[in-house]
């Protein structure tokens, strides 16, 4: 995750303050200096950092905090509130035009991920019951139209494209076609450049004038730091953007653009792209993102994602099996598939309170694949009852999965331990012990 380094540094500061029974103003200011350095190191805009630290320091040095018996917790709350405010405060929803179709214009520099975003946004809108269409107006970048057609096909959304033509004329005809087909949304994918120039701006302004977009979303590559923030400001001055989408937030970027762009442009962040798959687009909630950055987890987003892959009956059946210790390797295989749908184990742990200290390096996602291969190499009877696995059956499984007898024995042992923990949890929820999952 983009904020992993920043999270670890901030948690170190708060741990030091939390060890103190009471804190002095000097200790608070020293802690805030470390927070300031951590934010600057994350490539957050200097003025944004300066204003943020000033607001936090003023509140943290107040008499209520300095006299408190839990100053560390109060300072964390102040930082969390101010971080939420810096990121925009409240969640900003996508606007819908009273006169359909709602036109959404995507703009930004080349390589920011606009084309992939068009497909992700179309899928997101489809899930909400809308009928989007995409217009291919990036006529310069090699294979841009083919890429757009590919992501649109995955989302099962139509594309209006005319090849290497006039992007303004293409946008006009796409709008006319969207009206004819009674589509309620038209997403316009525009061309980008390696840097802001007059030709680019003139063209995007002309497309804006031709189709009258209700939303103009600027696509920010979270890995480009302050350059992205400067570009956002330039686009806003010419186009009056209505919102920002953060892309590549799942990478190892320092995350400074995400913390700066709202304060610099004054425009809300509406979405965050957190993976390569089309479903990896999240509505941006400033309070939830602040909580993630501070290592406090994001259970609301985790629950929302779980609801997309589990129905009520499946959840009830799983709970019943776990409480009765009837959980089998077949069930475990199903749960692994659900974890993949939700973005993988590393992403899920990052949303759980107290788990942010676990880095991606500590999670062997490849071992999940090997575990899956071993279970798939078993018969249904063996998955339901691993106790029947003798020497010859084990040899067949490791040959079929390309693993070793040690890995298979370790899986079986850890799975049995997990079943025992489930049995304990069924008898006494507080008695749930600690143990490793078999991946």
Domain positions in the chain are: 4-86, 102-296, 302-431
* CB neighbour list of residue 143: distance below 8 Å, 6 or more residues apart: none
Give the DSSP letter of residue 202.
H
What's this model's pTM, rounded to 2 decimal places?
0.68
Angle at 231 between CA 230 and CA 236, to 5 degrees: 100
* CB neighbour list of residue 103: distance below 8 Å, 6 or more residues apart: 97, 175, 185, 186, 188, 211, 212, 213, 214, 215
- Kindly state the helix (H) or strand (E) to which residue 267 belongs, with its residue range: none
d(CA 66, CA 44): 28
Determine the pLDDT at residue 328.
83
Asked whether the predicted pLDDT for residue 434 surpasses 50, the reply is: no
Structure tokens at 240: 């009056």
pLDDT digits (tens, 9 = 90+) for 244-292: 998 887 765 566 777 788 888 889 999 988 888 898 898 888 888 888 7
Q: Same topology for domains 102-296 and 302-431, yes or no?
A: no
pLDDT digits (tens, 9 = 90+) for 138-155: 998 878 999 999 999 999
Give the distance between the most distant pair of CA atoms in the chain.
73
Instruction: State the average pLDDT for the chain.
Output: 81
Q: Which superfamily does CATH assign the domain made up of 102-296 to?
A: P-loop containing nucleotide triphosphate hydrolases (3.40.50.300)
Is the Cβ–Cβ distance between 352 and 297 less than 8 Å?
A: yes
Determine the pLDDT at residue 154.
94
Fold designation for 302-431:
434 Repressor (Amino-terminal Domain) (1.10.260)
Nearest of 3, 31, 86 to residue 292 by alpha carbon: 3
Q: Which superfamily does CATH assign the domain made up of 4-86 to?
A: SRP54, nucleotide-binding domain (1.20.120.140)
Segments of 239-316 assigned E as strands: 243-247, 269-273, 281-283
């Amino acid at each position: 995750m983009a904020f992993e380094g920043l999270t670890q540094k901030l948690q170190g500061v708060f741990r030091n303050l939390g060890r103190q029974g009471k804190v002095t103003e000097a200790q608070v200011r020293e802690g805030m200096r470390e927070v300031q350095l951590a934010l600057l190191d994350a490539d957050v805009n200097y003025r944004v950092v300066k204003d943020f630290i000033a607001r936090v320091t003023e509140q943290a040095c107040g008499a209520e905090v300095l006299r408190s018996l839990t100053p560390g917790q109060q300072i964390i709350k102040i930082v969390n509130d101010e971080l939420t405010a810096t990121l925009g405060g409240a969640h900003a929803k996508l606007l819908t035009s009273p006169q359909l179709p709602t036109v959404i214009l995507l703009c930004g520099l080349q390589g920011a991920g606009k084309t992939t975003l068009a497909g992700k946004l179309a899928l997101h809108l489809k899930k909400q019951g809308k009928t989007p269409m995409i217009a291919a107006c990036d006529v310069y970048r090699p294979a841009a139209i083919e890429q757009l057609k590919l992501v649109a096909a995955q989302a099962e959304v139509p594309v209006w494209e005319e090849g290497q033509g006039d992007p303004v004329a293409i946008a006009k005809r796409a709008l006319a076609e969207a009206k004819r087909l009674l589509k309620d949304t038209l997403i316009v994918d525009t061309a980008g450049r390696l840097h802001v120039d007059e030709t680019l701006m003139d063209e995007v302004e002309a497309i804006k004038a031709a189709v009258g977009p209700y939303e103009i979303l600027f696509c920010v590559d979270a890995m480009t730091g302050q350059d992205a923030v400067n570009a956002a400001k330039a686009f806003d001055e010419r186009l009056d953007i209505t919102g920002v989408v953060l892309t590549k937030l799942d990478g190892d970027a320092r995350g400074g653009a995400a913390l700066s762009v709202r304060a610099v442009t004054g425009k809300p962040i509406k979405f965050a792209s957190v993976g390569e798959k089309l479903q990896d687009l999240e509505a941006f909630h400033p309070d939830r993102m602040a909580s993630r950055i501070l290592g406090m987890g994001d259970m609301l987003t985790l629950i929302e994602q779980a609801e997309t892959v589990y129905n009520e009956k499946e959840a009830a059946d799983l709970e019943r099996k776990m409480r009765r210790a009837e959980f089998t390797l077949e069930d475990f295989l199903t749960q692994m598939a659900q974890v993949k749908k939700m973005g993988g184990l590393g992403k899920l742990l990052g949303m759980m309170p107290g788990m942010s200290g676990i880095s991606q390096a500590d999670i062997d996602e490849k071992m999940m694949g090997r575990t899956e291969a071993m279970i798939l190499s078993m018969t249904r009877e063996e998955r339901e009852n691993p106790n029947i696995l003798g020497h010859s059956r084990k040899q067949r499984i490791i040959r079929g999965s390309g693993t070793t007898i040690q890995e298979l024995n370790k899986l079986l042992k850890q799975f049995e331990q997990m079943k025992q923990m489930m049995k304990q949890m069924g008898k006494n929820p507080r008695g749930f012990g600690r143990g490793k999952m078999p991946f």
